[in-house]
Amino acid sequence: MRAALELFAARQYPSVVAACQDALLDQPGNLHLRLLRARSLMALRRDAEAQTEISECLRLESRFGAAYRVLGELAARRDEIESAKIFLREALRLDPDDAEAREWLEVVHAMVRSTAAADKLPAAAAAVGHLSPHAAAQRGLPARAVAPRPASRARADGTRPPAEMQRSTLSQLPVAAGFGNYLVETGILTPVQHRAALAYKKSTGVRLGSAAVALGFVSELKIEWASLAYHGQHRRAAM
């Protein structure tokens, strides 16, 4: 178990899956080994296998609160919000001190509020189309409510903007206090998605960008681009 935990901390998820599987041959009733294997499978985005492992945990012990928490996380990843709430509430009923379950439940409730707000956007979208992603985030609006600005635009008299105003979007991106804040400020993640990614990061040990990708909020390519832009700005600021 200790070796598997060390591998998990090092993000060696395929090795964790294999190590737990070997250990379970001798200890098939070890719930913590099964839970760790399920969380590693989730990190590898093998959700169906993770759910099978959690189901086996609950077959062995129907009052295993951590298993319900993981079921809640899996449901949230599939946007099955009502199921996620049911599982997470059950996890907290069985273990009121489960801070991760409480955090995930708050995230799920925030996702519901965000969806409700998005349903009201069509009439308001025109009024906020001129907002930057950062300004929209400060007003609690999802990034998708923000109309994209053209990369460059001709003036009314037909002339081009001055060269200093035609700098690439990359050089104009804000330098944030952290990569997560940067993703929100640039409109790549909404504040609610940021919180969900942080909760998933804390639960699985993956990096924030990988958590956002695993949850389906953003593509790997966009995270890679954002990481290059973020670190590039910090290098320039340090020069």
Q: Which one of 3.40.50.300, 2.40.50.140, 3.90.380.10, 1.25.40.10 gives the CATH number of domain 2-116?
A: 1.25.40.10
| Section 116-136 average pLDDT | 45
φ and ψ of 177, to 5 deg = -70, -25
- 41 and 50 in contact (C-beta within 8 Å)? yes
pLDDT of residue 237: 60
Q: Is the pLDDT of residue 178 over 50?
A: yes
Higher per-residue confidence, 32 vs 229: 32
The alpha-carbon radius of gyration of the chain (Å, integer) is 22
pLDDT digits (tens, 9 = 90+) for 89-106: 999 999 999 998 998 888
Nearest by Cα to 202 from 104, 75, 64, 66: 104
38 Cβ contact list (under 8 Å, min separation 6): 50, 51, 53, 54, 57, 70
pLDDT digits (tens, 9 = 90+) for 44-96: 889 999 999 999 999 999 999 999 999 998 888 888 888 889 999 999 999 99
- What is the average pLDDT score of the chain? 75
Q: What is the pTM of this model?
A: 0.58
Nearest by Cα to 188 from 213, 147, 218: 218
Q: Is the pLDDT of residue 224 over 50?
A: yes
| Domain coordinates in residue numbering, the chain | 2-116, 122-238
18/128 Cα distance (integer angstroms): 51
Higher per-residue confidence, 55 vs 112: 55
Number of Cβ atoms within 10 Å of the Cβ of 58: 15
pLDDT of residue 204: 78
